[in-house]
Structures are given as C-alpha cells and as structure tokens.
A and B are shown apart, each in its own frame.
Chain A
C-alpha cells in the first residue's frame, strides 16, 4: 500500500477529528480575540490582567495542584515501592485496591470523602475519641479537603506507571550494587531511584496537569469556597455568562500546561542523552 491510498483510508477519520474535536476548540480559544462588530481585540486579556481575581484563581489553582501532586508523590512512591516487595498474591490484591477507585464514579468517591472527613465523620470522631482534639477539625469546604480529595482521586495515575517501572528493575542490579560494596542508601539513590525517575516524572506531570483542570472534587469538597480555574470557568460559562473571558482563561491554562510539558520534555531528553 502506498502513501496516498493509506491517506485515503484515514482521511474520513481525520476530517471527523478536525471537525468534531479541533474546530470547536479553536473556535472556543478564538472567541477571546474577537469582539462583535469590532473584529480582533486583546481587550479580554487586558480584562484578565485588570481584575486581580482571575490571576488569584490561577495562582490558587497552581498552588493547590502543586500541593496535591506533592502529596501524591509522597504517598505514591513509597506505596509503589512497597507493592514491588510483596509476594505474588498480595501484589495482585494491592493492585486491585489501587485500581478499584477507577471503577467507582469520581462523584461517588468524592461524596464518600464527605462521610469520612465531615464534622461527624469517621476521622473527626476517631480524633475526638482518642482525645487528640476537643472540637471537630474542619477538613471540608477548604483547601485541605480539596487537596486530600484530589490526591486520592489521582493516586492511581501515579502509582501504576511507577509500579510498572519498579517491577521492571531486575533484583540482580541491586544485588550487583551490593556486591560492589554499595550500602543500601547508595543503592537506592544511585541505582534504584534513577531507574524509576522517568516513570516518576511522567506520572507526576500527568497528575499535575490533571489537577489543573479538575472540576468535580474542588466543587464538592470545596463547597464553592475554594475557587479553582475549572470552577471559575463554570461560573463564567453557565452563570454570568461571559464566554470571551472564559476563552481567555482557557487559553492561559493551556499555555501553562504546554510550558510545563515542554520543560518535562527538555529534562527527559537531557536525562536520556
């Protein structure tokens, strides 16, 4: 089969993709640059700069995403490492437990956190029973709740690629390092960790970018009090509505994601060179 007949086969699909997916996005992003009757304008971006609330929400989103991602790594890396050391059966069970949330709707999982973290919830009752606190700790409807919820929902995206990379590491490499005289700490930092680094970087990036656009969890666990970009977009589109402003914010969000991704690619290329 030559090139042109091959192209003929995928052309309908290509047209579908462009018309159904790409054009609406381009149209949406383009909205910000047009004004009825006046044509091209940067006014909506200027509007973003002038109203500090928008930039504050963007900064807020980046910060919460970063914290949730760090929490994810802090829990996910040791978890994946621990799973690697398990026996065959226990490992299967652990994988099932990590993957299980994938099969439960995000909405259900998020509401489950309300049961766990609420004022009369599991955690608060345990804390009070243990005598650690007198009054309930406010977990919900603040940044803490949003962070906990997002870290939980996104954990599999980090753990699974990490775990896959870790079980690929041949035990004999670690044994070789030991026989060459390396103490456990050196084996970890010089051999084990570098071999998990590509998966860690890719997983972290994925989690962070997913955090940036997260909607359900911040909406439910934030109770409207923790504005993140996707909730702001919801307001701008469904309530006010100001589509041009929403378009400008989306564009900025996209650029932020692309810049982060470009940074990752540079690091990745440098590491594998």
Chain B
C-alpha cells in the first residue's frame, strides 16, 4: 500500500495538452475518483501513473519514491483497462496466474493465490474458461482479479464498469467498494459517470481539458462546486442571480414545491413531471421572470403535481452556493 503524488504533471500531444499541470495527492488506502467528460484526459493521467506513458513535465511519486522515469514493470500497480485487456489465448486461471508467474511465483502456491483472488471477485468455478466464453461483467471481474492477485501497491481502474448495463453496474459498484475497503489498497478510479463518482469515492477530482477543476469530497463538490463547469457536470444545476451580481447555485433537492398561497414562494407553472422511482422531478417555469427554468427533485410520496399545475417555488438562502 502506498500513497500517490502528482506534481505539475503535464502530457502534450502536439498542441493538445491531454494533462495540464495536474497536482494530486492520494493518501494511503484512499479511494479517489477522476471524473471528467470524454476526452478530458482521464486515461492519459492513469497511463502516466501506470508508466505506460511518460509525462512531458512534472514528477510522479508512489509511496514517496519518484517513479517518473521508472518503467511500468517496476511500479507494482494493478491496472484495469477500459477494455479489460484480458489475454484471449489464456484461460481465466492463466490470466490471473500471469502476474504471479512474472514474479517468479509458481506451482501450488500461485494456484492457491489465484483461486483466492477469483473467489474474492466471485468467479470460482469459471477458472478454466476462455475470456471469450464469459459475459462482460465476468470479464471485468477477471481483469480485477488479475490486477489484485499480486497485491499491488495501488490500484488503477479505467472506467471499469463503463461497458456494463445499469443494474450490473450498480451491483459491481457495491462489490468494488467493499473489495477496495477490505484490501485497503490505494485506488484511483476513472469515470465519466458522475453518480458512480459520487457514490464510490472518498474524494473526487474533476477534470476538464486536461486541467484540474476541483478536488474535494463528493458532497462538498456537489453542493459547493469550485466553478460552473463542476456545478453542471456533477448534476442538475439551478443558477440564480444574486444581489451582488454573482451567480448562485441551488441543487434540485433544495428546491421546495408546494401549492400556491401557502408559505409564500414564487409562483410557477409545472412544465413537466418526471417520475424517477423514489423521486419525482419537476421542470418549472417561474412566472413573470426572465429567470432560467428551475428543476426541483422531491421525494415521491404517492401524489405529485401534473404538467400545467400552478405551484409555489421556494428555497432557503442558506442553500444557495455562490459559484466562484
């Protein structure tokens, strides 16, 4: 187990800066998620840490050791690719044995260790299959088993759940989190899915065009984003004009919607009602204002306003975050 530190790490491809002066410190055992839209440089950042790529500037430290110029082989990092990158000509067991073999671990000891790793990801019994005979979720678990079997110092996951359907993804998120906690391994996960980032991580790092936008705990980043990009990327954002000319952010959960005439509130009309299971979301048009439309999300308790209803909308000033 080790910590990770990036100091001013940059990677340029011609005119494009895929990583632009990135600083990041991940504590030992911490779970940090790098979140950003497609093309923001997430994979680039992971490949720099893994040693598959060399930065054009900056230093990378793992466990206090400067590994900027060390080859991938010497970094002892477990890396799960977006595409899993399982060896197609090997069985599941052979795939998991591979990192042990190159470390000179063989025979019964290696076999036990590999089977243990497969059991950990709940794949026991499938060790003799080929990757092509497995479902996407199972392949993903093989890749995970292969990357943890040799007890890496850190674990890097590049959109590991991206290719899976929603239900499986949610299941695996829970498993991944539990696994990470039981192993206590320092973990960096990459995703473009803000829900995944918010639900899994101790902290998130929001990336855009290779630049760090914010590094914070999930709730902090969600409620107090460092800028407009983070505010919009992490979820639905209602922007309201403030008295001092700045822009304030109100999240949909902090918007109250009630019948007109009670407790004041601004009059509004329901444009659309969307049922989300436990929640119901309203898209609202404020009356007599040039304000942008407001989105509210309320717990669904059996009854809801319909499109066209007149309602009163309000929020607490304490729930407004002035976006820097």
Q: Give Cα A255 to B146, complex, Å.
A: 47
159-173 of chain A: CB within 8 A of chain B: 170, 172-173
Instruction: List 17 additional A-B contacts (Cβ < 8 Å) besides A178-B73, A179-B72.
Output: A172-B81, A172-B83, A175-B72, A176-B79, A176-B85, A177-B87, A178-B51, A179-B51, A179-B78, A179-B79, A180-B99, A180-B147, A180-B150, A181-B103, A182-B98, A182-B99, A182-B102
Q: Contact check, A181 vs B52: say whether CB atoms are below 8 A apart.
A: no
Tell me if A183 and B73 are in contact (CB < 8 A). yes
Q: Does B83 contact A182, Cβ atoms closer than 8 Å? A: no
Interface range, A side: 10 to 19
Tally the A-B contacts, defined by beta carbons under 8 Å: 58
| Interchain CB contact (< 8 A) of A183 among B52, B88, B102 | B102
| Stretch of A93-101, A117-125, A186-194 lying at the B interface | A186-194
> Which of B75, B77, B81, B102 has the largest number of chain A CB atoms within 10 A?
B102
Q: Find chain A residues with CB under 8 A from B85 CB.
A: 170, 172-173, 175-176
Residues in B neighbouring A194, C-beta threshold 8 A: 89
CB distance from B80 to the nearest CB of A (A): 9
Complex CA distance for A190 and B83, rounded to whole angstroms: 20
Is residue B162 contacting chain A, with contact meaning CB distance below 8 A? no
What A residues does B77 contact at CB under 8 A? 179
The reply to whether A173 and B50 contact each other, CB–CB distance below 8 Å, is no
Given the contacts A172-B83, A176-B81, A181 and B89 also touching, CB distance less than 8 Å = no
Would you list 26 pairs from A and B whose C-beta atoms are within 8 A, ordered by A residue? A170-B83, A175-B52, A175-B81, A175-B85, A176-B81, A176-B85, A178-B51, A178-B72, A179-B50, A179-B51, A179-B72, A179-B73, A179-B77, A179-B79, A180-B79, A180-B98, A180-B99, A180-B146, A181-B76, A181-B102, A181-B150, A182-B99, A183-B73, A186-B102, A190-B101, A191-B87
Return chain A residues, CB-CB under 8 Å to B147.
180
B71 at the interface (CB under 8 A from A): yes
Q: How far is the CA of A181 from the CA of B101 in the complex (A)?
A: 9
CB contacts (< 8 Å) of B103 on chain A: these are 181
Please encode chain B, from 98 to 127, with 1 for each CB lying within 8 Å of some chain A CB and 0 for all others. Answer: 110111000000000000000000000000
Residue of A nearest to B76 (CB): A181
Instruction: Kindly supply a per-residue 1/0 record for chain B positions 58-91, scoring 1 wherever the CB is within 8 Å of any chain A CB and 0 otherwise.
Output: 0000000000000111011111010101011100
- Bound Cα distance from A190 to B75, whole angstroms: 20
| Alpha-carbon distance between A137 and B85 when the two chains are bound, in angstroms | 52
Which chain B residues border A180 with CB–CB below 8 Å? 79, 98-99, 102, 146-147, 150
Q: A172-B83, A177-B98 are in contact. Are A182 and B73 (CB under 8 A)?
A: yes
A195 at the interface (CB under 8 A from B): yes
- How close is B73's CB to chain A, nearest CB, in angstroms? 5
Residues of chain A with a CB closer than 8 A to B78's CB: 179
List residues of chain A with CB within 8 A of the CB of B89. Answer: 194-195
A182 to chain B: which residues have CB within 8 Å? 73, 98-99, 102
Give complex CA distance A229, B153 in Å.
63
